[in-house]
Amino acid sequence: MPEQDDLRYPIGRFAPPVSPETSMRADQISVLRLLPGSIQTAVSGLSTGQLDTPYRDGGWTVRQLIHHIADSHANAYVRTKLALTEDWPTIKTYDEAAWARLADSTLPIDGSIAMISALHERWVALLESLPEADFHRGYNHPELGRQEITNVLALYSWHSRHHTAHITNLRKRMCW
């Protein structure tokens, strides 16, 4: 049986790049581009009961993970746009766990997958259009301090792979 930390962080904890390289950006943007298909594949054929299975003891269900990705990435997209149109705005945080307990996190996942797909189409187009200087714009996070877009991109590339791995690893463990 895997360690609890291995289940919680299947690809390891996020580590911001020491010196963000332009060459890494294309790969990170590609992860965002491919996420809708990756999660669609990861959940393909799962039953209602399987979607309502937590990926680890005390963790969110697969259904909550999909809705969380939609919520989290929508916030990240808006924060990116704020960073590009304002001078280091201070963003609002939100309680991810509380959002995951709201009624809309019990809905079928198709709406959130469609939302992620449409959102990522726009987010990727925006990121691909940015000149180098814009990747060094950012926002102030009340808990984490100054966040440059280049680091936000790295974080959400990791976040995409992190939650996809939660689902694919659960499927392997459960032989689904």
* Number of domain units in the chain: 1
Tell me if 34 is assigned to some domain.
yes
Would you say residue 135 lies in a domain?
A: yes
Going by pLDDT thresholds of 50, 70 and 90, the confidence category of residue 163 is very high
22 pLDDT above the threshold of 80: no
In a domain, 43, yes or no: yes
Would the CA dihedral through 71, 72, 77, 83 be positive or negative? positive
Main-chain phi, psi angles of 138, to 5 degrees? 180, -160
Indicate if the pLDDT at residue 2 is higher than 70.
Answer: no
Provide the whole-model pTM: 0.95
Give the range among 12-21, 33-42, 105-114 with minimum mean pLDDT. Answer: 12-21
50, with CB counted inside 10 A (0-12, 13-18, 19+), is middle
Domain extent for 120: 22-174
Q: Is residue 144 part of a domain?
A: yes
Residues 130-168 as b/e (b if ≥16 CB within 10 A, e otherwise) read beeebbebbbeeeeeeebbbbbbbbbbbbbbbbbbbbbb
Does a structural domain hold residue 12? Answer: no
- pLDDT score of 4: 64
Neighbouring CB atoms inside 10 A of 72's CB total 18
Average pLDDT, the chain: 95
d(CA 99, CA 96): 5
Asked if the structure places residue 16 within a domain, the reply is no
**Rounded Cα–Cα distance for residues 168 and 39 (Å):** 9
Amino acid at 155: L
Burial 73-98 (b: 16+ CB within 10 A, else e): bebbbebbebbeeeeeeebeeeeeee
Instruction: Kindly state whether residue 5 falls inside one of the protein's structural domains.
Output: no
Rounded mean pLDDT, 23-47: 96
pLDDT of residue 16: 87
Mean pLDDT of 130-158: 97
What mean pLDDT is predicted for residues 112-116?
Answer: 98
- pLDDT tens sequence across 50-88: 999 999 999 999 999 999 999 999 999 999 999 999 999
Q: What CATH code is carried by the domain that includes residue 38?
A: 1.20.120.450
CA 41 vs CA 76, 124, 148: distances in Å: 23, 20, 31
User: So what's the pLDDT on residue 20?
Assistant: 67
The band of 18, judged by pLDDT with boundaries at 50, 70 and 90, is confident
